[in-house]
Amino acid sequence: MKPIYLCLISLFMLVSCNESGKKDTSYLPKSLGNINTLQVVTPNDLWNGSVGEEIRKYFAAPTDGLPQDEPLFSMNQMPPETYTGFARKYRLALYVTIGDEDKIAIKKDAYSKPQTIAFITATSEEGIIALLEANQERIIKAYHASEISERQRRTRVSLMKLDSLQKDMGVTLKIPSAYRIAKATSDSYWIRKDLKSGSTNILIYQVPMDMIRTDTTEVVGDIIKIRDSIGSKFLPVEDDGQFVTEAAYAPYLFTTEIDGKPAFETKGTWEVKNEYMAGPFVNYAVRDEAHNRYLILEGFTHAPSVEKRDLQFELESILRTAKLE
Residues 204 and 262 in one domain: yes
Stated pTM of the model: 0.89
Q: Would residue 1 count as lying in a domain?
A: no
Q: Name the domain boundary from 130, 155, 180.
A: 155
- For all residues of the chain together, what is the average pLDDT? 89
Residues 247 and 118 in one domain: no
pLDDT reported for residue 12:
42
pLDDT reported for residue 240:
52
Q: Would residue 5 count as lying in a domain?
A: no
pLDDT reported for residue 48:
98
Q: Would residue 2 count as lying in a domain?
A: no
The H-or-E segment that residue 220 falls in is helix 216-234
pLDDT reported for residue 230:
81
Residues 199 and 109 in one domain: no
Q: Name the domain boundary from 102, 134, 155.
A: 155
Residues 183 and 266 in one domain: yes
| pLDDT tens by residue, 205-235 | 999 999 998 877 789 999 999 988 887 677 7
- 312 or 274, which is more confident: 312
For residue 36, the Cα-to-chain-centroid distance in whole angstroms is: 8
Structurally, how many domains does the chain consist of?
2
Q: Would residue 6 count as lying in a domain?
A: no
Q: Buried b vs exposed e over 95-118: b needs ≥16 C-beta within 10 Å?
A: bbbbeeeeebebeeebbbbbbbbb
- Calculate the dihedral angle through the C-alpha atoms of 92, 94, 95, 97, rounding to the nearest 10 degrees: -170
Q: Would residue 207 count as lying in a domain?
A: yes
| pLDDT tens by residue, 185-195 | 999 999 999 99
| pLDDT tens by residue, 111-160 | 999 999 999 999 999 999 999 999 999 999 999 999 999 999 999 999 99
**215 lies in which domain range?**
163-324
CA distance 159 to 215: 38
Residues 146 and 198 in one domain: no
DSSP SS3 for 254: strand
Residues 151 and 201 in one domain: no
Q: Would residue 222 count as lying in a domain?
A: yes
| pLDDT tens by residue, 269-297 | 988 766 667 899 999 999 999 999 999 99
Q: Name the domain boundary from 155, 176, 191.
A: 155
pLDDT reported for residue 217:
77
Residues 226 and 269 in one domain: yes
Residues 53 and 30 in one domain: yes
CA distance 63 to 71: 6
CATH code of the domain covering residue 222: 3.40.1000.10
CB 93 within 8 A of CB 82: no
Residues 146 and 219 in one domain: no
Residues 254 and 270 in one domain: yes
Q: Would residue 3 count as lying in a domain?
A: no
- pLDDT band per the 50, 70, 90 thresholds, residue 16: very low
CB 266 within 8 A of CB 250: no
Residues 58 and 191 in one domain: no
Closest CA to 280 of 255, 256, 310: 310
CA distance 181 to 188: 11
Q: Would residue 4 count as lying in a domain?
A: no
| pLDDT tens by residue, 245-259 | 876 678 999 999 999
Residues 77 and 216 in one domain: no
